[in-house]
C-alpha cells in the first residue's frame, strides 16, 4: 500500500477520531436541547382592543407572528367572569364564568368576540393554542389574564397604544410595517392616513426629533385600510448611519385635516442616550436567536474544538514531542506527511459535521414537525466545516511556531474561547470605547463585520445572511449583513482566506524544515 | 553504504556552523564509530543523514539515493535509533510497530506477524501489548532497535544509544550491532563510551566543533594505545589466571582481573572462561587510550 494512503487510513482509524465523535456527540446533544429550547420561542403575539357597543363587549384580536405577519389557525379562548369581591373575609367563592368561547383566527389573523353582558368589571383570561406548531408559545394578549374593565359606550379600552407597530430593531428584516389602529367603537378611521418616516440624525441633534415633521427621509405613506394596515418600511442604507448618528423611525396617524393624532417612535430615544442606558427601547422584541442560529452558534464552538483536538493530537503533539520523527524516517516526505494529516483532519471534520447536522435535522423534523431547510443545511455544513478546517490550520501553524505543547494549547484554547464564547465581548468593544452614545445601528454593523475575523463565527454569519427573521427556524437579520457589506461572496472569500493563509504558512515552515 | 559529502548545516542566528564540510563513508559490513564532545555536530549529522533535517549544503547518499531529493527511496534503506525514546508513551508496542510497518508496504496481517517476531528476537516476548510508558529503560532501547529493523534496512544510524543502559543492556546492543555488521549492514554509531567503540568499531571518526578531524581504522586504533579487559570472576583461581596470562598481561586483585593488551576480543575471553566453569559476573573493556587519542586530537584542533 502507498505509504500516504496507509497514513491517511491510520489517521481515520486513530483514537483521536473517538475524541472527535465524543465532542460532536456533546454538540449534537446540546443541539437537540436547543431544538427543545427553541420550541417555546415560537411566538405569536396578540394585539387588540375592546369596546362596549350594542349591549355587548366587543373584543378584537389580531394574532401576528414576531415579524408582524398575520397568523391564521390560532385557536383563541376567551373566558370572562365577574370581578371577584375581595372586600370580605373569607373571600366568597369565585363567581361563575359568564362567557367561555373558542374561536380560530382567519386568514388575516383576526378574531372578534362579542360578549353580551352588562357593563361592569370582569376578569378575563385569554388562552391560545396553535396546532400547526406543537408547543408554540403565545405572548401578548394571547397569553394573558387581564382586567376587562368597564368601558363607557362610545369609547375604546385599548390594551396598547392606538398605533401598534410590529417591527424589529434598527434594520427591519421585513418589507412592511404592520400598523394596528382602532377608532371609537371599533370603527376604522379610513379618512386618516398612516405615514412612516425614517431619518438619520445626529445623536447630539437639538431639538431632538419627535415626529416626521422636518425629517427629510419620509418614504412611506398611505391611507389606513382598516384596523390592520401594512405599509412599506422606510428604507435607509446601513452605511448612511455614522458613528455618532442614530436611525429614527416614526409611524404617525394623520387625520383628514392634516393633524397628527398618534405617533409611535420605533427607535426610542434618538438623542444622546442617558448614562447607564446602552440599549434603545424597541416596541417589540424579537424571538430567541432561532433554531438554525442556535445550532450555528453551538457548532461554532464544538466543531472547531473537535478540529483543535484532531490537529493537536494528530500533528502538533507528535511534532513538539518529537514522536513524529519516527514516522519521518520512514519512506515519506515531511511535506507529504503534513498534507496527508491536514487532509485527514479536513475529511474527518467534513464527514462528522455532516453526520451531526443530519442528526439534528432529523431531531428538528421530529420535535418541530419542520426540518431545517436543505439550503440552510448545506450552507451550514459547508461553512462549519470550512471554519473548523481554518481553525485546525491555525493549530497546524502554531505547531511550527512553538516547540512545546504549552503555548499551542494555551493560544489555541484562548483563540477558540475568544472566537466563540467571548466574541460578543469583541462585538461590544465600540460601546466600551465610545460609551453609550454609540448607536445600535453602528453596533450591528460592527458586529456583522467582526464575524469575518473569527472562523467559528462564520456559521453564524452565514445564517444571518441567508435568513429573514420570519420563521421560528431562522434567526438571521439579512438586512444588517447586506447593509454591512457582508455578503455570501465575502464570507466565502474570507473562509477560503482563513483556510489558505495558515495552510500556506505551515507549508512554508514545512519546506524550511528544522 | 552511507556516503556523506561536504555536509554543512547552519542554524539561523548562530555564526558557527553546526556541521562544517563533513565527509564520511560508512561501508557495508562496517561499524563506523563517531566520536566528539557534546555539541560537536554528531547528532545533527545523523539527523540529516536520517532525512529529519535539511543540510545547508552537501549531500547524503544512502546506497546511492540522495536523502533529500530521493527521500522515499533512501528512507527505505536506512534506520535511525536516537538516544532518547522517541515514541508516544501511551502507545502499545505491537500496534505502533504495525503502524510503522505500513509505511513499508506491509499488509496488516503480514506486519503483525513480522513485528511480533522482531519483538521476540529483541527479547520483548510477552510485552507486545503493554503501554510503552511501562517499559524499562532497557526494554525501550530494545523496542527502538526493533522498530529500526522493521524494513530490514541496509544502513543503521545509532545515535548515543548506549547511554543510560546497564552492562547487560550495553552487551545486548553491542552484540546486536556486531550482528548487523556480520549481516553486511553499514552501521554508524555515535557514542561517548569510547571503550565500547574501541571494542566494536572498524573505524572511528572524530568530529570537533562541526568539523571532521580524522578517521582512523582498527590498525591505527591499536597503535593509538592499548585497552584492557576488566573481569570479575567469583570463583577465580590459579588455573583461570594461568589462562588469562596467555591472552594478555594479567593483573588481579581478589576477584577482579585486568588483562591489558589483549590478543583476543573480550567476548572470546568471556566465552572461554564460562566454558571452563568460571562464574564471570562482569566483563568489560577499559581503555584510556582512545580517550587520550581523542583529547590529543581536539587539543591540536584547538
CB A228, CB A177: distance < 8 Å: no
Per-residue pLDDT for B71 more than 80?
Answer: yes
Per-residue pLDDT tens digits for A388-429: 999 999 999 999 999 889 999 999 999 999 998 888 888 877
pLDDT tier, A279 (very low <50, low <70, confident <90, very high otherwise): very low
Secondary element (H or E) of residue B25: strand B19-26
Whole-model pTM: value is 0.69
Alpha carbons A79 and B86: distance in angstroms, whole number: 79
Kindly determine whether residue B51 and residue A328, on different chains, have CB atoms separated by under 8 Å: yes
Apex A188 CA angle, A183 and A191, nearest 5: 105
The pLDDT of residue A259: 67
C-alpha cell of residue B20: 562544517
pLDDT tier, A350 (very low <50, low <70, confident <90, very high otherwise): very high
Q: A81-90: long-range contacts (C-beta < 8 A, 24 or more apart)?
A: A81/A122, A81/A123, A82/A120, A82/A121, A82/A122, A82/A123, A83/A120, A83/A121, A83/A122, A83/A123, A83/A147, A84/A123
Query: Is A318 within 8 Å of chain B by CB?
Result: yes
Per-residue pLDDT tens digits for A50-106: 777 778 877 777 777 655 566 788 888 988 888 776 777 777 787 888 899 999 988
Q: Report the DSSP beta bridge partners of residue A194.
A: A222, A253
Which of 237-266 (B) contact A at CB < 8 A?
none
CB A344, CB A12: distance < 8 Å: yes
Sheet bearing B2-9, strands edge to edge: B19-26, B2-9, B57-62, B65-66
DSSP one-letter string for B129-181: TSBGGGS-HHHHHHHHHHHHTTT--SEEEEESTTTT--HHHHHHHHHHHHHHH
The pLDDT of residue A66: 54
Q: Which residue has the higher pLDDT, A366 or B35?
A: B35
Alpha carbons A251 and B96: distance in angstroms, whole number: 73
C-alpha cell of residue B32: 563506523
In chain B, which residues have their Cβ closer than 8 Å to the Cβ of A512?
A: 54
A43-157 has which CATH code?
2.60.40.10
Share of chain B above pLDDT 90, in %: 38
DSSP class of A314: I
Per-residue pLDDT tens digits for B259-290: 877 888 888 898 899 899 999 888 887 765 67
CB A484, CB A449: distance < 8 Å: yes
DSSP class of B192: S
Chain A nearest CA to B72, separation (Å): 4
Query: Is A275 within 8 Å of chain B by CB?
Result: no
Per-residue pLDDT for A495 more than 90?
Answer: yes
What value of ipTM does the predicted structure carry?
A: 0.78
The pLDDT of residue A464: 81
Closest-CA residue of chain B to A6 = B102
C-alpha cell of residue A445: 454593523
**What is the three-class DSSP state of B103?**
coil
Query: Is A323 within 8 Å of chain B by CB?
Result: yes
The pLDDT of residue A258: 67
Alpha carbons B205 and B46: distance in angstroms, whole number: 13
Which of 380-409 (A) contact B at CB < 8 A?
none
CB B7, CB B45: distance < 8 Å: yes
DSSP one-letter string for A400-459: HH-SSHHHHHHHHHHHHHHHTTTHHHHHTHHHHHH-TTS-HHHHHHHHHHHGGG-GGGHH
Closest-CA residue of chain A to B89 = A323
The pLDDT of residue A282: 27
Kindly determine whether residue B87 and residue A326, on different chains, have CB atoms separated by under 8 Å: yes
pLDDT tier, A217 (very low <50, low <70, confident <90, very high otherwise): low
The pLDDT of residue A115: 86
According to CATH, where is 2.60.40.10 located in chain A?
43-157
Q: What is the mean pLDDT of residues B195-210?
A: 86
The mean pLDDT value of chain A amounts to 74
Alpha carbons A207 and A214: distance in angstroms, whole number: 11
Chain A nearest CA to B179, separation (Å): 22
Tell which residue, B78, B299, B91, has the closest CA to residue B185: B78
Tell which residue, A134, A128, A133, A86, has the closest CA to residue A111: A128
Apex A172 CA angle, A170 and A178, nearest 5: 115
Kindly determine whether residue A329 and residue B80, on different chains, have CB atoms separated by under 8 Å: yes
Closest-CA residue of chain B to A512 = B54
Per-residue pLDDT for A314 more than 80?
Answer: yes
Per-residue pLDDT tens digits for A456-474: 899 888 888 876 544 445 5
Per-residue pLDDT for A134 more than 90?
Answer: no
Q: Is the dihedral of CA A11, A12, A13, A15 positive or negative?
A: positive
Share of chain A above pLDDT 70, in %: 62
**Alpha-carbon torsion angle A95, A96, A97, A98, nearest 10:** -100
Per-residue pLDDT tens digits for A7-54: 999 988 888 888 888 888 888 888 877 776 655 555 566 666 677 777
Query: Is B145 within 8 Å of chain A by CB?
Result: no
Per-residue pLDDT tens digits for B115-149: 999 999 888 888 888 998 999 888 898 899 899 89
Cα→Cα distances A373→A191, A365, A384, B254, Å:
44, 10, 16, 92
The mean pLDDT value of chain B amounts to 87
Which of 93-122 (B) contact A at CB < 8 A?
99-100, 102-105, 107
Apex B243 CA angle, B237 and B245, nearest 5: 100
Q: Report the DSSP beta bridge partners of residue B256.
A: B232, B253
CB B34, CB B189: distance < 8 Å: yes
Candidate from A1, A323, A329 with C-beta closest to B88:
A323
Q: Which residue has the cell 570537533?
A: B208
DSSP class of A292: H
DSSP one-letter string for B83-94: SS--S-TTSBHH
DSSP class of A130: E
The pLDDT of residue A513: 64
Which of 324-363 (A) contact B at CB < 8 A?
325-333
Secondary element (H or E) of residue A256: none
Q: Which residues contact A25 (CB under 8 A, 6 or more apart)?
A: none
Q: Which CATH class is domain A161-284?
A: mainly beta
Amino acid at each position: 500500500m502507498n505509504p500516504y494512503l496507509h497514513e491517511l487510513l491510520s489517521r481515520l482509524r486513530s483514537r483521536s477520531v473517538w475524541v472527535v465523535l465524543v465532542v460532536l456527540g456533546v454538540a449534537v446533544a446540546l443541539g437537540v436541547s436547543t431544538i427543545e429550547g427553541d420550541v417555546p420561542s415560537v411566538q405569536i403575539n396578540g394585539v387588540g382592543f375592546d369596546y362596549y357597543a350594542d349591549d355587548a363587549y366587543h373584543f378584537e384580536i389580531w394574532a401576528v407572528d414576531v415579524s408582524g405577519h398575520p397568523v391564521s389557525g390560532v385557536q383563541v379562548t376567551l373566558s370572562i367572569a365577574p370581578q371577584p369581591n375581595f372586600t370580605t373575609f373569607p373571600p366568597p367563592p369565585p363567581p361563575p364564568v359568564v362567557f367561555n368561547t373558542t374561536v380560530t383566527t382567519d386568514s388575516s389573523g383576526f378574531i372578534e368576540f362579542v360578549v353580551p353582558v352588562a357593563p361592569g368589571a370582569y376578569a378575563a383570561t385569554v388562552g391560545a393554542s396553535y396546532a400547526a406548531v406543537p408547543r408554540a408559545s403565545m405572548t401578548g394578549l394571547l397569553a394573558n389574564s387581564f382586567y376587562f374593565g368597564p368601558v363607557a359606550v362610545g369609547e375604546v379600552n385599548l390594551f396598547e397604544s392606538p398605533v401598534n407597530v410590529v417591527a424589529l430593531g434598527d434594520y427591519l428584516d421585513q418589507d412592511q410595517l404592520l400598523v394596528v389602529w382602532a377608532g371609537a367603537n371599533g370603527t376604522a378611521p379610513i379618512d386618516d392616513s398612516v405615514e412612516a418616516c425614517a431619518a438619520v440624525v445626529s445623536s447630539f441633534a437639538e431639538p431632538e426629533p419627535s415626529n416626521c415633521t422636518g425629517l427629510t427621509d419620509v418614504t412611506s405613506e398611505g391611507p389606513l385600510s382598516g384596523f390592520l394596515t401594512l405599509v412599506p418600511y422606510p428604507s435607509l442604507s446601513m452605511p448612511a448611519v455614522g458613528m455618532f448618528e442614530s436611525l429614527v423611525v416614526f409611524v404617525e396617524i394623520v387625520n383628514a385635516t392634516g393633524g397628527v393624532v398618534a405617533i409611535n417612535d420605533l427607535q426610542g430615544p434618538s438623542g444622546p442616550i442617558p448614562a447607564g442606558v446602552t440599549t434603545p427601547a424597541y416596541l417589540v422584541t424579537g424571538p430567541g436567536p432561532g433554531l438554525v442560529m442556535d445550532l450555528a452558534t453551538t457548532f461554532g464552538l464544538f466543531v472547531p474544538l473537535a478540529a483543535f483536538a484532531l490537529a493537536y493530537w494528530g500533528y502538533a503533539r507528535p511534532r513538539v514531542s518529537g514522536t513524529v520523527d519516527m514516522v519521518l524516517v520512514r519512506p515519506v516526505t515531511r511535506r507529504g506527511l503534513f498534507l496527508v494529516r491536514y487532509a485527514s483532519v479536513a475529511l474527518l471534520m467534513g464527514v462528522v459535521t455532516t453526520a451531526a447536522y443530519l442528526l439534528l435535522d432529523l431531531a428538528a423534523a421530529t420535535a418541530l414537525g419542520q426540518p431545517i431547510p436543505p439550503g440552510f443545511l448545506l450552507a451550514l455544513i459547508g461553512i462549519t466545516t470550512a471554519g473548523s478546517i481554518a481553525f485546525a490550520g491555525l493549530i497546524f501553524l502554531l505547531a511550527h511556531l512553538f516547540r512545546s505543547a504549552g503555548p499551542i494549547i494555551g493560544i489555541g484554547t484562548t483563540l477558540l474561547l475568544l472566537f466563540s464564547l467571548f466574541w460578543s465581548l469583541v462585538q461590544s468593544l465600540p460601546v466600551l470605547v465610545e460609551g453609550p452614545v454609540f448607536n445600535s445601528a453602528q453596533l450591528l454593523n460592527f458586529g456583522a463585520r467582526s464575524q469575518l475575523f473569527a472562523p467559528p463565527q462564520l456559521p453564524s454569519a452565514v445564517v444571518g445572511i441567508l435568513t429573514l427573521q420570519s420563521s421560528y427556524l431562522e434567526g438571521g437579520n439579512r438586512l444588517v449583513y447586506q447593509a454591512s457589506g457582508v455578503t455570501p461572496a465575502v464570507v466565502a472569500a474570507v473562509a477560503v482566506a482563513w483556510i489558505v493563509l495558515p495552510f500556506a504558512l505551515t507549508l512554508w515552515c514545512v519546506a524550511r524544515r528544522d | 553504504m552511507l556516503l556523506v559529502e561536504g555536509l554543512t548545516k547552519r542554524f539561523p542566528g548562530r555564526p558557527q556552523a553546526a556541521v562544517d564540510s563533513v565527509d564520511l563513508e560508512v561501508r557495508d559490513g562496517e561499524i563506523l564509530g563517531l566520536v566528539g564532545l557534546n555539541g560537536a555536530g554528531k547528532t545533527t549529522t545523523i539527523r540529516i543523514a536520517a532525512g529529519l533535517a535539511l543540510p545547508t549544503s552537501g549531500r547524503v547518499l544512502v546506497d546511492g539515493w540522495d536523502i533529500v531529493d530521493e527521500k522515499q527511496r533512501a528512507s527505505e534503506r536506512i534506520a535511525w535509533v536516537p538516544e532518547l525514546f522517541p515514541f508516544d508513551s501511551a502507545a502499545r508496542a505491537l500496534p505502533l510497530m504495525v503502524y510503522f510497518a505500513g509505511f513499508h508496504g506491509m499488509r496488516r496481517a503480514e506486519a503483525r506477524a513480522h513485528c511480533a517476531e522482531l519483538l521476540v528476537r529483541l527479547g520483548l516476548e510477552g510485552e507486545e501489548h503493554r503501554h510503552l510508558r511501562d517499559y524499562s529503560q532497557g526494554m525501550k532501547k530494545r523496542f527502538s532497535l526493533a522498530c529500526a529493523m522493521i524494513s530490514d534496512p541496509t544502513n543503521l544510524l545509532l545515535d548515543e544509544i548506549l547511554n543510560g543502559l546497564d552492562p547487560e543492556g550495553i552487551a545486548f546492543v553491542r552484540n546486536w550491532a556486531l550482528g548487523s555488521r556480520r549481516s553486511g549492514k553499514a552501521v554508524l554509531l555515535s557514542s561517548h563510551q569510547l571503550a565500547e567503540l574501541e571494542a566494536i568499531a572498524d573505524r572511528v571518526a572524530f568530529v570537533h566543533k562541526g568539523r571532521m578531524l580524522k578517521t582512523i581504522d582498527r590498525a591505527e586504533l591499536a597503535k593509538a594505545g592499548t585497552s584492557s579487559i576488566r573481569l570479575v570472576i567469583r570463583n577465580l583461581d590459579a588455573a583461570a589466571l594461568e589462562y588469562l596470562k596467555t591472552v594478555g598481561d594479567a593483573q588481579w586483585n581478589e576477584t577482579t582481573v585486568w588483562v591489558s593488551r589483549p590478543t583476543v576480543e573480550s567476548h572470546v575471553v568471556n566465552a572461554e572462561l564460562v566454558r571452563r566453569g568460571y562464574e564471570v559476573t562482569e566483563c568489560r573493556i577499559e581503555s584510556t587510550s582512545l580517550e587520550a587519542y581523542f583529547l590529543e586530537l581536539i587539543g591540536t584542533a584547538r
